[in-house]
């Protein structure tokens, strides 16, 4: 009788194992990466765009919004816990996923591969822009937490540079794309949109979301760059409403 031979022992090659869904800790890190892109970073993006939209109401309204945000309890702790640290992890792990993945757009020019590539590049653009924006607006020049009503002037001076204006426009479009497609990926990965039909329908919702956010962000730049009412806003616009005689009505001082 033929004797059964033991199969050769499986050898494991040295090195880092490829990332696979539901394999080890990579599953947890990817889920956390996906979740942080929506909460809190997505929520912060929505709040930031809505706050910037106040610029259309003028320097004082914009300054009031900046003052209100900086008056929140434990605002510096909130910045680090819900903005800076999640952003750093989301960006760094996103780059790690990119370096470990393969898009193959040359040999497989499918829509999914192109979306994968665009998502990674827009993520890099968003991170680079946000980094310089935070440094320049938050930590350089006029300190806005102490002088919130100088915010309009500070942004206006920066956007007076045509190159910086171009950077803002490109970054705004990239960020809105990255977020809207990230929402679509989040819904797919977390089982919110099971099935091809549900994902296709939700894709239209995400396209509308991205376009709406981009229009909202670009419209905010109008006040800083184009609107003649707010041209050459001073660093500290001292404006108050004074009730004048009935013949003159309300005047601005």
**pLDDT over threshold 70, residue 239:** no
Q: Mean pLDDT over all residues of the chain?
A: 82
H/E stretch holding 241 reads strand 241-243
Convert the pLDDT of each residue in 162-177 to its tens digit. 999 999 999 999 999 9
Question: Buried (b) or exposed (e) across 137-173, using 16+ Cβ within 10 A?
Answer: eeeeeeebeebbbbbbbbbbbbbeeeeeeebbeebbb
Report the C-alpha gap between 51 and 69 in whole angstroms: 9
CATH 1.10.10.10, applies to 26-252: no
Token pair belonging to 98:
């990119």
Domain locations along the chain: 26-252
pLDDT at 104: 54
Confidence of residue 228 (pLDDT cuts 50, 70, 90): confident
Chain centroid, CA 46 distance in Å: 9
* 48 and 62 Cβ atoms separated by less than 8 Å: no
pTM of this prediction? 0.80
Provide the angle, in degrees to the nearest 10, between the axes of the packed helices 196-225 and 151-159.
100
């Amino acid at each position: 009788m033929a004797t059964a031979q033991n199969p050769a022992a499986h050898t494991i090659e040295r090195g880092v194992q490829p990332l696979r869904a539901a394999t080890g800790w990579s599953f947890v890190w990817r889920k956390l990466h996906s979740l942080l892109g929506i909460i809190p970073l997505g929520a912060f993006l929505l709040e930031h765009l809505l706050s910037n939209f106040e610029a259309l109401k003028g320097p004082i309204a914009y300054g009031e919004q900046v003052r209100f945000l900086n008056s929140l309890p434990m605002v510096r702790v909130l910045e680090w816990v819900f903005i800076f640290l999640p952003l750093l992890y989301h960006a760094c792990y996103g780059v790690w996923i990119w370096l470990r993945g393969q898009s193959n757009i040359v040999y497989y020019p499918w829509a999914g591969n192109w979306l994968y590539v665009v998502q990674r590049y827009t993520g890099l653009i968003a991170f680079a822009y946000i980094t310089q924006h935070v440094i320049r607006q938050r930590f350089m020049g006029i300190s806005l937490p102490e002088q919130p009503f100088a915010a309009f002037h500070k942004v206006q001076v920066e956007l007076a540079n045509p190159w910086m204006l171009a950077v803002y426009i490109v970054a705004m479009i990239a960020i809105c794309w990255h977020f809207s497609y990230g929402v679509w990926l989040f819904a797919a990965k977390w089982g919110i949109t099971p099935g091809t039909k549900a994902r296709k329908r939700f894709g239209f919702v995400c396209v509308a979301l991205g376009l709406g956010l981009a229009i909202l962000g670009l419209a905010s730049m109008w006040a800083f760059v184009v609107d003649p009412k707010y041209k050459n806003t001073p660093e500290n616009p001292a404006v108050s409403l004074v009730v004048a005689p009935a013949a003159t009505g309300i005047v601005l001082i």
